[in-house]
Amino acid sequence: MSPAAALSAPILGVTTKAKLKTDVFGVDRNDALVHEVVKAELAARRQGTHATKTRGMVAGGRSKPWRQKGTGRARAGTTRAAQWTGGGVVFGPQPRNYTGKVNRKAHAKALRIALSAHAADSTLAVVDGAKFSAPRTSQAAELIDGWRDAGPLVLVVQPDEDALVRSFRNLERTHVVDVGRLEVADLVWAHRLLVSKSALGTLEGGDR
């Protein structure tokens, strides 16, 4: 794709195109950085509530199951030890926080790289949220007909664009995300990226 084409994106429903800022949609690829940020984002989504009981948490087993000597069996002090059925778990998972640290500037650059990839691959388009005065899923489906493929679609909106959100959120394989909550993982997952006009201004302004 030529540099000029990479700096514009079609506005669905009209013949004009939206101009894109070079410092946001013209950044060179850095797969290592994007991978690092996406890995941190996906890890932060994990609840980390998994837990197993240790031998001190399992009920029962207060007394020795048999005397220490004379039975011919191995000595045992409790039936709640790890080798017994129903016993505790040794070194099992416990609740933890999987959130990793990513520098703010690194995260912002990875986001711009992912946006630039969509612009370079012509998988980025702009939608005018003002055209949706009321929620109409049929209008949304008609608007993207012929542009989107069978893969996932991500729509980036402003919080106050309720009609636009409700028009797109029921479409198959479509994820609607607030521009302030947009993550690099969303952009990497998306086959097509649709951005509202007002959200585009926020992305280019850097104020999220």
Q: Does domain 3-46+99-205 have CATH number 3.40.1370.10?
A: yes
For 115-135, write each residue's pLDDT tens digit: 999 999 999 999 999 999 999
User: Taking a C-beta distance cutoff of 8 angstroms, is the pair 189, 208 a contact?
Assistant: no
C-alpha closest to that of 62 among 80, 47, 38, 76: 80
Phi–psi pair at 104, nearest 5 degrees:
-60, -45
How confident is the model at residue 206, as a pLDDT? 63
C-alpha closest to that of 193 among 204, 184, 205, 180: 184
Question: How far does CA 23 lie from the centroid of its chain?
Answer: 24
Q: Domains of the chain: which residue ranges? A: 3-46+99-205, 52-92
For 76-85, write each residue's pLDDT tens digit: 999 999 999 9
Percent of the chain past pLDDT 90, that is, above it, reads 91
Residue 71 DSSP code: S
User: Taking a C-beta distance cutoff of 8 angstroms, is the pair 192, 151 a contact?
Assistant: yes
C-alpha closest to that of 19 among 183, 204, 177: 204
Could you tell me the pTM of the whole model? Answer: 0.83
